[in-house]
Every structure is written in structure tokens, then in C-alpha cells.
Amino acid sequence: MVRIPDVRAQVSASHSALGLALLCISAGAVATMALVGRLCLRYGSRRVTIASVAVFSLAAALPAHTHSVLALGAVLLLFGAGYGAANVAMNSAAVDLVAELRRPVMPSFHAGYSLGGLLGAAVGGLLAGRISTSWALAAAAAAGLAVTAAAGTALLRAPAALPRPAATAPAAAQTPAARPSRHARLLVVLLGLTALCTAYGEGALADWATLHLTDDVHASGATAAAGYASFAFAMTAGRLSGTWLSERLGQTRVMLLGGLTACAGMATAALAPSVPLVLAGFVLVGLGLANVFPLAIAQAGAAAGPQGVATASTLGYAGMLVGPPVIGFLADALSLPAALLTVAASSALAGLLALTVRRHRAA
């Protein structure tokens, strides 16, 4: 994200052309997510994780070597495909580990994702202006490949968490893991909608939190930059405590309370007249949404294996895609604070969907 302006200047892209090129990331991710579940069943989620993260890392270096919008779009399509595949494969591998440990540790893995995003933004900001874009992206790719090699070796050497039915039964195609029941598919859709509602809020805040602070609350640029940072740090902290909370309160209660907390926080942030209250609201949103998405993905994987993870992840990613433009259109039609109230509504809906999932699971 830090190097986007440099890449835009390099390919001489207008804002609209850059927007179309960036859309290729989403297109590649969504297209790949729908296929990776089957690859995980066939080859194992660990192998697919290693391959997809390697592709993702290699693709990170390529935008610096493009000189047209078309080439940039093609590179970002590959980058998005790697991201989407890694998303599903890593979550599928994590679902296996959750089942083996019999503990709700999925939020801890997603805390690593959040920490990585914060670390990448911090390092990228420090390196901006000090080294060229090509060297910065090459360093990021090299770091990704090094981590993939080290972690991949450990993953392949470790004993399988849960043997795939395909490895032990000739009729694996008839197993629930390969062909989820209608009841399991309904659960996955409900959990995917839960993830969608959560990701809608996350995507909206990523693009609109700073503008809300500057345009509606008249915060300074430096203060406004703390808006999304406060949300991101709170989400990371919430995920680090997610396993502890889930073991003591239960996953459904954590998701319900999280959705309602995020609803209250977003309503506060949207309507508050002062900067401290807005920032406090963003913190509540981060804490509330922190564990809803990872727990929804974990439950989808438990219900239908890698295919469940793929379906729920695709729906969740769709929420992150539609969030920013929906907020933009509503802000033009009404106002930005009114548009941000839809995040409060979607957060509450995510919590209520968790109750619906529990009822259907018990049925």
C-alpha cells in the first residue's frame, strides 16, 4: 500500500485506471478461493499453503517491473490469486490444527495476520524514500519466500493433524468432507454471511475512518491517521485474547457480544462530536469484530472441511469488497456518518447470525 503512488506514476495511470488495476487483486482472489478447497482435499492443505504463499510472495515483487496499466493488472491478478489461495489453504490447515488441539485457537492465527499487516505498514513507511520501489518489493518478496521455505519445511515434516478421508477410504468421494450434507451447506452459508457482515465493516473502516475524522470531526491529519490505527491495534489485541475468551464464554457468546460491541462502537464513532469519542468508538469496533470472522471461518471448516472454508472465505471477502463503495455511495446520498451506521447494523447482524447458526447446529 505504501508503494502504490510510486507504481501509479511508473505506469502513468489515471485514478480510474489504477482503480481497475487494483480490482484485479480482488478478481484473482475471488476466482481462486472457489477452487482451492478442492485442491486442499486432493493434495492436502499444507502443500497448497506452501505453494500459494510462494506464488503470493513472488508476485509481490512484480508490480515494480510493470510499465503499463495492462501489465500491472495482469501482475495484480496473479498477486490476488496467490492471496486468495493462501487465505483458504492456511485457514484449512488451521481448522485441522483446531480439531487436533480441541481448542478454539483460530483467532490467534488471525492475530498473526493482523500483526503482519501492522508490521508491513510500519516497515514500508520507514523504508519509503530510503530505497527504491523495486528494491523494497524485492525485499518483501525475499522475506516471504524465506519464511515460506522455513515454515514449509516444518509443515511438511510435522505429522498430519487429521488424515484426509481420501487417504484411507476408496469411497472418499462419498464422505461428508468431500460432499457436505445439505444441513452442513446451510451452516456454511450462514457462517459465510456472518463473515461477510464482519468484513464489510473492516473494509469500510480501512477506507473511510480517516476521512470521517478529517471531514466530519475536523481532526488534524496526524490525529486522523490514528483512526484506522486504533481500530487495527484493537483488532489485533482482541484476536490475541480470542482463544481465552472463547474457552471461557463459548464461541457463540463471543461472536454475539463481539457483534453488539462493534455495533455500539460504530454508532458512537459515527455520531460522536469529538475526536476522543470517535477514536474510542473505533477501538470498540476493533475489539468487537476481532474474533467474529476467524471463529466463523473455523466453524465453516469444521462443518464442511476445506470447501466450507472456501465458501465462507469467498463470502467474507465479498463483504470487504462491497463495503468501501457502498459507504461512498451512501455518503454522497446522505452523509458519511449516516453511511457508517450501516457498519453498526452489519455488526449487529453478524452477532445475531451466530445465534442462528447455533440453533441450526442443534437442530
Q: pLDDT tens digit string along 138-150?
A: 998 999 999 999 9
Question: What predicted TM-score, i.e. pTM, was given to this entire model?
Answer: 0.80
- Interval 45-54 mean pLDDT: 92
- Interval 178-200 mean pLDDT: 87
Confidence of residue 179 (pLDDT cuts 50, 70, 90): low
Give the Cα separation of 265 and 280 in Å (integer).
Answer: 7
Lowest mean pLDDT among 6-15, 170-179, 182-191: 170-179
Whether 207 shows a pLDDT value over 80: the answer reads no
- Interval 68-91 mean pLDDT: 92
Q: How far apart are the first and last CA of the chain?
A: 45
Report H helices in 212-250.
221-240, 242-249
Going along the chain from its start, the domains and CATH numbers come out as 4-103+116-157 (no CATH), 182-362 (1.20.1250.20)
Whether 345 shows a pLDDT value over 80: the answer reads yes
**Cell numbers 520501489 label which residue?**
133
pLDDT at 182: 83
Each residue's pLDDT tens digit, 100-143: 888 888 998 888 888 887 787 677 767 767 888 889 889 989 99
Name, of 2-16, 172-186, 279-293, 310-324, the range with top average pLDDT: 279-293
Question: Would you say 242 and 294 are in contact if contact means Cβ atoms under 8 Å apart?
Answer: yes
Q: pLDDT averaged over the chain?
A: 86
